[in-house]
Amino acid sequence: MSEINSFPQTLTIAGTDSGGGAGIMADMKTMQECGAFSTAVIVAVTAQNTLGVQDFQALDPKLINEQFSSINGDFKIRACKTGMLADAEHVSIVVDNLKKYDFGPLVLDPVMIAKGGAQLLSDEGINTIKNDLVKLSELITPNIPEAERLADCEIKNKDDMLLAAKKIKEMGAKNVLIKGGHSESLEVNDLVLLDDESHFWMKSKRVDTIRTHGTGDTISSAIVSRLALGDDMKSAILYGKDFVEAAIKNTIQVGHGHGPLNHWA
């Protein structure tokens, strides 16, 4: 019989999506697909579908602390991620718990605004992420608008992207992945700036679809899973990129708006 807790285990600290396409739902599906067992600390609950976020509420801090304690008391988490954290108070609760427990390397997905325009993190929350959470992360995975907010600059081309990545790394993130999917160009360029200061680009052709709900959650969760399985950072990122690309190409016809990805491609 294999040892208790020898199976790769992950943790997602984020918000739910009642529509099933993003947030903790996308995280757990992705982690399962990638071969890891996933646990979850729910920070916020959203009322949401493919048309947008209709409402959300962050949970009572006591219940959040208790979820962290429950997970720590039973599992051996090898890698974790954060997603939607709602506001400064909740970012701080997460920071305190990540300092208290060892959940392995942290992938920070700095979720700010949903595709439909809903603000999933307050302005104060962005500052708390910049000041307190970024420095705990092994990898941060902003899209272009998020990188612009974090680095306080405008990104118009690849040079700007590299400059922003360097600024974000200076805030304390060990590795930086800036996802280029929000740029206007037909070719998507994702930038990776590694701990050793080297960088590389991951190019892909834009897929013509509005069904891209939860892409950020999916790539960060695939990376977390591979880290839990023992990959180095570069291999985990390359795996995550391939995984999300396949999922975008195989979207399914669910809902009337920004539908979910197909994780079963």
Write out the residues near ligand PLP by the rule CB under 6 A. 14-15, 17, 22-23, 46, 48, 83-84, 111, 114-115, 120, 213-217, 258
Residue burial 66-84, b: 16+ Cβ < 10 Å; e: rest: ebbeebbeebbbbbbbbbb
Q: How far is the CB of 260 from ligand PLP (least distance, A)?
A: 9
Distance of CA 250 to the CA centre of its chain: 21
Q: How far is the CB of 140 from ligand PLP (least distance, A)?
A: 14
> Residue of minimal CB distance from ligand PLP?
23
239 within 8 A of 226, measured Cβ to Cβ? yes
Nearest residue (CB) to ligand PLP, 194 versus 223: 223
Helix 215-228 vs helix 23-33: angle between axes, to the nearest 10 degrees? 40
Nearest residue (CB) to ligand PLP, 180 versus 216: 216
Nearest residue (CB) to ligand PLP, 42 versus 191: 42
Q: How far is the CB of 58 from ligand PLP (least distance, A)?
A: 11
Q: How far is the CB of 109 from ligand PLP (least distance, A)?
A: 6
Q: How far is the CB of 48 from ligand PLP (least distance, A)?
A: 6
Q: How far is the CB of 126 from ligand PLP (least distance, A)?
A: 14
Nearest residue (CB) to ligand PLP, 63 versus 170: 63
Distance of CA 41 to the CA centre of its chain: 14
Nearest residue (CB) to ligand PLP, 40 versus 194: 40
Reading the block at residue 226, the tokens are 């591979």
Question: Strands of 139-140's sheet, edge to edge?
Answer: 52-58, 37-49, 9-15, 77-82, 106-108, 139-140, 175-178, 187-193, 199-205
Distance (Å, whole) CA 243 – CA 41: 24
Distance (Å, whole) CA 17 – CA 46: 6
Nearest residue (CB) to ligand PLP, 83 versus 105: 83
